[in-house]
Structure 1
Amino acid sequence: MAPGHRPGGRTDDHRHRRPRHPRLPVGHLDEPGERGETGGGAAARRRCLRLRRSATDAGERESNRNGIAAMPLPPAVLRERIEELAPWYQNIRLAEGISTKDLGGTRDTFPHDDIPRPLWELILRDLGDVRGSTVLDIGCNAGYMSFECKKLGAAEVLGVDVDLGASTSFIEQARFCAVALDLDVEFRKLSLLDLTPEQPFDLVLFCGILYHLENWADALDKLLELVAPVSGRVVLETAIEPVTCTVYGDKAYRGDAQTFFVPSLEVLLALLRERGFRLEIARDLTTRALLFLSLPESRSRPRRQHRGIFRRARR
């Protein structure tokens, strides 16, 4: 994106920069015994470091601020690791002519090659300036949006995800991509409800996740703890239905056993207003909704009348 007037509404005026937080607000997450993650996460990071060190003889490199030598991984190493971590849902360009979905369909169970680029381009129209911000990417998958935020100048970026029974590890994919791209982005295998922030985030990305959550009401409540009042923003993208929402607990939605909650846009907005969210922008994409939300400085405890409705529906 060029300087000046940008698609995301960014400018180069330093007055619009957000203050940098002194440290990433991720709470008490320890290595390797972080909540929701076994020692495999630490092993994945060690594997990525070994991959980087294996490139020592491939050419000159310079040291980054962490003292780890930084240079592009050899193409053969990239392709080998991409194959090992397949299948990929997100298409991330790691080097000239090398992307994560370059397998020609051999092991790719997700046919749409550009995911999530079209959605990200929509988000950029209204995202504004993220320079100096702290960013939380919930359901980060392989880290596409986390990396894009870092490229736009975010100070700290944390991506979290769980595998939901997938045949690959999203967090392992994301950590590999971070090494390949030489971007300082942190990834943790954590569910939304396990997050314990020391400080709220300036920007929370919550895209393609809500309809997968059986405990969607708790997830919406949790967002209140994660985003900074007034200055913070939530970008929420989810599936919607034009008429009504599915019955809570119904696990059959277009053949997707991991879909639990697909409301109408009106129902979704009502649930968000009930919790104190302020709607800034709403884009109705027919079967999807893209919302930009903020919080007032003071808000009351969220009301939970809707829970009784869904409890009765289950009886």
Structure 2
Amino acid sequence: MKRTILRRMLLACLLILAASALTFALVAAAPGNVAALIAERAAGPGADAEMITKIGNELGLHDPLPIRYGRWLASALAGDFGISLRTGKPISQEFAARIPMTAALLAGGGVLAFILSITLGIAGAVSNGGVIDRFLHAFSLIGASTPNFFVAALLVIVFSVMLGWVPTFGTSGLTSWLLPWVTIALFPASVLSRVVRVNLQEAMSRPFATTGFAKGYTRTQVLLREALPNIAIPFLTTFGAQFTLMIIGSIVVETVFALRGVGAFFIEAIRFRDFIGMQSVLLLFVVFFVMVNFIVDMICIVADPRMRRARGA
């Protein structure tokens, strides 16, 4: 078991290293000159070539790409992500102020997606081809096909502008989080509800379900007592994948609802060609992707004895 965990940790570190190198290379290859941007910010349009060259030498922008990457990665591991070209503040300070906002968005959306997917999946399985099952099937297809920005705009128009029930933006209270949470949770909840529904249907054809019926259980009791625990592993695996994708959805949601999170900072960095900020946010996204999948993998290994034996073999 310990060997399995260590092997997975090593693989996660290698994935982060490879993804960070690719991210750094892509951002470095983007059109634009960081030294010129800094010179223009300091001296305005009057920045000359000598000043640009001097700034480039000070920042090591003329060094080979592997050396620049190693220097940047070493600083990032020490908590120094550089200075934002847009705000002039250390990016570590920007992260300290913005990560709690994004974490609250992802946590609320993740809990809502988890609850909705289980509830809708079980309701569809209980109906089993009935009106409710067909309705939920159509709802999940629509939810999985509708872009986040359209959902956000529709929710704001209906519940904020027309009904006036919740604020349109900001974080003035718990009600101000409802629309962002629903927006970011709709897509994963729709996908996961179908995973629950399909796996429950498959589980109902297994011998343990037949045994449950032989004991006199109703269909709902067999679903909850026998089938539901047996779909935990595929559900958790899919939930982990969908939860990591929510960080991409946060970019849109934070922009629409004026939440000062990491996603909004990333959009601002792109608009103002803040290459240092973009590299730092992408590195943060990479770490988030890998760590969530690592945690889900560990949970599945602990929860499923078959996977423990397979990993330990």
TM-score in terms of structure 2 length: 0.24
- RCO comparison, higher one (Cα < 8 Å, 6+): 2
**Greater helix share, 1 or 2?**
2
Report which of the two structures shows the higher radius of gyration computed on alpha carbons: 2
Choose between structure 1 and 2: higher strand proportion: 1
